[in-house]
Structure 1
Amino acid sequence: MRKNPERRQALVDAAIEVLAKEGARGLTFRAVDAAAEVPTGTASNYFSSRDDLLTQAGGRIYERLLPDDETMAQLDVGGQDRAHFARLMHELVDRIMAFNTGFLALLELRLESTRRPELREVVTKRIRADVDQNIANHAASGLPGDSTTVVTLMLALNWLIMERLTLPGLFSEQEAHELVDVLVERLIAR
């Protein structure tokens, strides 16, 4: 296995793009090499198997979806009310929509995990950690709502994002924005 971390990361990022555009069945070492614009055979020198590449892509998606330090600092700024909560949810949706191939690749990984128990274990563990981290961040922030509120918002916003990415004409950007506001309003007690 090769050790160049920048090239490895570029290959994993290329794998994410391939997953989003071609689906899990289109994820081959050759397709990743082409997407990364490297010589044929490069990806196979960095990853032991296609499953290894799928797993690495899943981890990298989350690295790229994580909020930056400035966004995390906003948890404590601006009042701990529904309006502030809604702003944070809009930031979340906007951040995910900006990395749309990551979200689509994650959907592909979820579908593929129904056929691959090892991948299912990795994806389940990573998403459970994400849920737990969101609940912990929310509890520490002092924002209104409880753990059920956080999970319900995650489920609803994930589906809204999926609709926007897979059926872009279904909800306009304005309708999606209003739906986020309504979700927060209805889930957060005054």
Structure 2
Amino acid sequence: MGDEVIAHVFFLFNSLCTNLNDLMLQFVNDGGNASSNLLSPNPNASIAIFNLFRQPFPLFPILERVYTELAYIQKKNFYYFMYPLKEYLSERETTVLTHVMQRFWLKQGKSSPGQLFIFNMDFIPQQAKPTIILGSDEEINLAIQSALKRAFGTNVELTLDEGLFKGGKTHDVLMALLPPPKYKIVNFVLTYDFLTNIELFKSFILAFAK
């Protein structure tokens, strides 16, 4: 009986060696985190997962696992950025977010050769089947729907939303911090199926990652 690979397991710890000012410390203490490639001087991704919504469970281990497995096994990269809001973008949180974005994201955007797609993402409880809700944007609706249909076929319910998930305060704040045309903000809502099934989440990323 020969050897058989059952699973690949990676353990990485994100770290930043620098003098942290008060705003950066607030970001960390609030539960903020980001993928390690954001600290790299060489940009290597064209999409980013942003999560600014507080969940009843930690998202970091899931996002880090997906990020690491795709980077090391399939050589595909994306950025992720988390800042779980407690006060729904109070003046303090907006100041913290603005400072962190200016320190890291604007630097990446200037050095990135193409447009960066920012997926402003939230998660909701399971529905009858795995579901993706896309906030309608006439510029990119067709391209995104086509990519998701190629990736999932009929296994995932895809909904185009013209109301509740189309804009919102976080979308507007991100657009002000990361303006077009360099950045494109896209609202996504995924059911918890994508968090409990890592392969499903990886397939979502791979539908867009280069």
Q: TM-score range by the shorter chain?
A: 0.3 to 0.5
Normalized against structure 1, the TM-score is what? Answer: 0.35
Bigger Rg, structure 1 or 2: 1
Structure with more relative contact order (C-alpha pairs < 8 Å, separation 6 or more)? 2
Q: Which has the higher helix share?
A: 1
The normalised TM-score by structure 2 is 0.32
